[in-house]
Amino acid sequence: MTDLARRSALALALAAGLAGTAHAAVPADRPWMDRSLSPDRRAELIVTAMTDDEKFRMIRADFGQKNDKAPHSPESLEGAGFVPSIPRLGLAALNETDAGLGVTRPGSDGLGAISLPAGLATAASFDPAVAHAGGRMIGGEARGKGYGVLLAGGVNLVRDPRNGRNFEYAGEDPVLAGTMAGAAVRGVQEQKVVATVKHFAINDLESGRNTLSADIDPVALRESDLLAFQLAIAKGDPGSVMSSYNKVNGTYAGEHDWLLNQVLKQEWGFKGWVMSDWGGVHSGAKAALAGLDQESAGEVFDKEVFFDKPLREAYAAGQFPKARLDDMVKRIMRSLFAHGVIDQPMKPTKVPYEADRIVARDALEAGAVLLRNQDALLPLARKGQSVVIIGGRADKGVLAGGGSSAVSDVAGDPVPGLEPKAWPGPVKYHASAPLTFMRKLGGKVSFDEGTDPAAAAKAAADADVAVVFVTKWAAESFDTPNLALPDGQDALVEAVAKANPKTVVVLETNGPVAMPWLDHVGAVMQAWYPGSGGGEAIARLLYGVSAPSGRLPLTWPKDESQLPRTTIAGAGLYSKEKPADNVDYNIEGADVGYRWFEKTKREPLFAFGYGLTYTSFAYSEFSVDKDASGHPVAHVTVKNTGKVAGADVPQIYVTAPGASTRRLAGWSKVSLKPGASQRVDIPLEPLALARYDDKAKRWQVAAGSYNVKLARSATDVATETSLTLPESFPTAKAP
């Protein structure tokens, strides 16, 4: 068991202990406050007691921040959303805040927050315990600042590495993404804060996101993006789901009866509420009858507040039934009861920022990916080696992604005033400078800003090793037109590498970038957007205090020509080009990422699941059988054959009878000391073995022989075997 897993187990035990404390006496006029009743019954009781005006007030959240379109309430904490209190019913105000990497608004303490590294970094850990610990951390900060809803739980698949919002998500594989997002949601909600799985569904590009139609065959959608949501919801039990901006096959997601009513609520049995994205509502009764339960900040972001006057008029005219209004409110109240928001009212508490920063640091250490390490250039020597750090503002801090998820660090922004200052900026850095921590760990460490390639090359020539930090900012609301690094950074790396072949490149990016200099440098580490503990984590990884153990949660293409769509219409910050009206996802369908590369016989630069470390591992005694319940389980003995401690991620890929592509069905993260070995059992996700039967409306594992591969990545297969399975009909289950 890893340290993070132990911490998570301890946190669960403490939460269980708290849940057993005595309940306060129940007021006779508020029976819904009886904690011995089920959340469903409590929600029924309070909805029965509500007036119509109170119900209509509950199904719309106002924008929490001061604006010129509506008066500001003193109950608002300046967050993303706000529902005022209803004192008659004993309901306190409900405040909502972004986002999946941390609390983005100061809240009741007036301070900043701690940011996790990018969601892709957490996904790259391939360790649900890391996601769970991160969720608990940001959920704890949200509650400490007075927020009852945290808009955390991004699970949209990475279909295109140029999508500006990829850094918020959990990769290209639905089983990995759903598992990791579900673990994070569980962590958030253990702090008595509602988490929000988003953006439902297939919001996989930002260009034209408010009007674009994502077109895809429903079965392919079920087996890709929707599978990620299905698993995240089953494993995390979120109190809320957020509908996406885009259309799906021509219908806005927030008006999509098939998505919201038929699939989410009826088939999956989701009991929480569906909130809109900010500016994602286009109708009143139409959206409500299609399954949308709450309009978010409509007075600021929508054409009108559709869930107020227009919906009231439909209600009065009998076009919107009382039963549906009650259901909308009941779903909201049920989640607030089920996840402790009402029973444990928000009371500002002291946030343990320094302890939280260590959680963020540990997450990056688990998720940074070592892509190249020629001649064991890394780890750097702690003594007797001179190092020059070049570029990336590494003397100040580490880069953050932009948009609604950008956290204002409690330590302040060490590089203020960067463009763009307007939305989706401002560009932010977290005050965790790699230079500071590398000087603590290493010997002679100097710094060059990297603004002059000739000067940087001279500094590199005078040092034993050069470490170049390169950055590429991405953000919500736009996609990047290409994979190239901006601002002449390729020329900087080339100049430094020519002067000193012992050059290490650290990437702070949204994901894959073009690396024309790859063969000329000694080592490359992907640090994603590193978060509030990023500088320390990078230093510890470079100097071998800890060993890299991340694996790529996405495929790293050689260039744009390898992608299903070589260009994105309207891509680029403040682009004047018209975005596409439709995006055809039937090109790849369910074969996203590594499966697209396998299907089209393309060789990526780095495969999904790839990652190096400072030691080596050997596999033996691989087998696959079924447990007592008939579920398939893989077994393998993993041995650390190197000289330092490290972690490995054996991965299991399965090809079903007649299928043309493999699917990730399971994995395990194993930490071992030098010479140690461990027998590992890896349960296989049944839905990764199944296809969706659209006529029967269920998943089906076909009877037959399945090819099962033990691999180090999607393309690096160690060994394989076969497993014969009978026909079965699996469902998504909680962990």
pLDDT in tens, 256-288: 999 999 999 999 999 999 999 999 999 999 999
Q: What angle do helix axes 39-49 and 322-338 make, rounded to 10 degrees?
A: 130
Closest of 140, 96, 134 to residue 115, by C-alpha: 134
Closest of 161, 172, 235, 168 to residue 198, by C-alpha: 168
Q: How far apart are CA 327 and CA 47, in angstroms?
A: 9
Q: How far apart are CA 401 and CA 98, in angstroms?
A: 14
Average pLDDT score over the chain: 95
- β-bridge pairing 704-711 and 717-725: antiparallel
Residues of the chain with pLDDT under 70: 1-24
Question: Over the stretch 188-201, which tens digit does the pLDDT of each residue have?
Answer: 999 999 999 999 99
E strand or H helix at 301: helix 298-301
At residue 24, the pLDDT reads: 62
Q: How far apart are CA 378 and CA 417, in angstroms?
A: 35
Q: By 3-state DSSP, what share of the chain in percent is helix, strand and coil, each rounded to 5?
A: 30, 20, 50
Q: Which domains does the chain have, with CATH numbers?
A: 354-542 (3.40.50.1700), 617-725 (2.60.40.10)
Question: Over the stretch 370-380, which tens digit does the pLDDT of each residue have?
Answer: 999 999 999 99
Q: Is 601 left (phi over 0), alpha (psi -120 to 50) or beta?
A: left
Name residue 169's amino acid: Y
At residue 366, the pLDDT reads: 98
At residue 23, the pLDDT reads: 52
At residue 19, the pLDDT reads: 39
Determine contact, residues 154/181, Cβ cutoff 8 Å. Answer: yes
CB atoms under 10 Å from CB of 331, counted, come to 24
Which token pair is 123? 């996904």
Closest of 259, 230, 219 to residue 691, by C-alpha: 219
At residue 18, the pLDDT reads: 38
DSSP letter (8 states) at residue 336:
H
Diameter of the chain measured on Cα atoms: 82
- Rounded to a whole number of angstroms, the CA Rg of the chain reads 25
At residue 70, the pLDDT reads: 82
Q: What is the pTM of this model?
A: 0.95
Q: Is 51 helix (H, G, I), strand (E, B) or coil?
A: coil
Name residue 67's amino acid: N
DSSP letter (8 states) at residue 272:
S
Name residue 696's amino acid: A
Which token pair is 391? 């570029």
